[in-house]
Structure 1
């Protein structure tokens, strides 16, 4: 029986993956913020006769302090973790900061993923075929890192914050495999493209209705979107780092995967953690 940790696992792709692996007989640990959705997932696990293999841990991963404490809790409970799926994300219409003073999109989409991958690395390395799947970019031309203002204090735009996070996550994969070159953990960057998830939820009317209609007509159903991810989890790619848009493998030698930029981002995040979290 394998152990999977899934962030953003109470809806959309994360929930579908959780249900799939519970059906397969694996242990699934879901991280989310919505208690009602978490309880609904536990009820579904009970219907699948899998309540003993499903856990819901409520946690606000936009808080680096909470994320570090959660990682410690996970290491204690699950000394060996087979797969870590990084899927937690929320589109922030307005700029907000966490209690630690970190812009919320950057904290949730970038900092929490950096922390969990590194904090859970030792537990992952105890598994036979460990893999991290980061749902992000990958490698596209849209978006860039605002190195002089990563938290977008001067001018916040929700799409710019989101695209910056997507670009940063590509670099997180590069930084992880560069720093842990002898690790057995395979790091997979995966962009599922347009999927029928909760994209419209943060928006007000009439934008919410318009997005819901567009999603219904054009987006990929979740049960189809998770199939390539399942393949990456069940049979991790041989390279330490790989990137995919749906089924298509992406070249990771381009500027979006620059090693110097990846090192700079990792150093920046470490300094941010030191300055913003409690002991």
Structure 2
């Protein structure tokens, strides 16, 4: 794996940063992406020092903007001649209704559509390598999700909004995307995972005071980001997962059954077509 190039979204913090560090320590070329350029460059230098690996790079990426996603994919394609593993790690949670720059509900737009578009744009590079992989960070929250095609732009308004429901919907969308990509692109090994409940700022950034307080008090009982990165690393590098695609793994690197909605082939196909339309790409 030492000659391989790996791209990680949300690689400047939490699970993504822990994943990047381990891969860099194994001698791989690692490209991390995040919104804050100053932070991204600083983390890049820190990871280089920690891993003693100069092949760590940063690309600006705001998944809430299709323009930014296209720019990031274009820059990656210009700077690197291969992509062996794409780890769609970044994710958000908000208690309030927020919209992306393209007018989509925040969770759906960032967690799913941004990664859907990025994966599509980088697919030619993936298919140009001998054993490409896509790793999607989802959640056991997908078991409680459903796709409401009539409210993906927040049409129902703030009063009807539930952050937990929107988050579950986005994580279900990631599972459906994982399965459909695995079905359509047999050469790309594509899997999704639940990282566990990880000790990050994820639950504090955009939560209401109640959820933020709950997250704060439970942090000591959550797992360290390095532990939360284990399944991402497993799916990105383990030889035994080469023949497994379209599956869901837990924080113990065990394959888990999909929720009923995630196993719905017609729903997966419909979401794929709608996602193509929403992001402006061909099916």
Q: Which residue of the partner structure matches residue 8 of structure 1?
A: 10
One of 167, 171, 189 as aligned partner of 1:186: 189
Aligned to 1:265: 271
- 1:73–1:10 distance in 2 versus 1, CA, 3 Å: same
Q: Partner of 1:57 in structure 2?
A: 59
Match of 2:162?
157
What TM-score do the two structures reach when normalised by structure 1?
0.89
Residue from 223, 233, 236 that aligns with 1:233: 236
* Shift in alpha-carbon separation, 1:127–1:50, aligned structure 2, 3 A: farther
Structure 1: tracts of 5 or more residues without a match: none
Q: Return the offset for 1:123.
A: 0.8
1:208 aligns to 2:212 (yes or no): yes
Kept in 2, the 8 Å contact 1:138–1:189? The answer is no
What is the alpha-carbon distance in structure 2 between the residues aligned to residue 254 and residue 140 of structure 1? 10
CA distance in 2, matches of 1:38, 1:139: 29
In structure 2, C-alpha distance between the alignment counterparts of 1:97 and 1:189, rounded to whole Å:
25
Distance 1:51 1:107 in 2: 34
Distance 1:253 1:108 in 2: 22
Within-5 A mapping of 1:13-32 = 13-32=15-34
CA distance in 2, matches of 1:274, 1:170: 21
CA RMSD between the two structures = 2.2
Aligned equivalents of 2:267 and 2:114: distance in 1? 19
**Aligned twin of 1:105:** 107
1:196 — aligned with what? 199
Cα drift, residue 201 of structure 1: 2.6
Q: Distance in 1 between matches of 2:185 and 2:93?
A: 31
CA distance in 1, matches of 2:280, 2:229: 36
- 1:220-259 mapped onto 2 (5 Å cutoff): 220-235=223-238, 236-246=241-251, 247-252=253-258, 254-259=260-265
Between the aligned partners of 1:151 and 1:141, the Cα distance in structure 2 is 22
Shift of 1:60: 1.0
Corresponding position of 2:91: 89
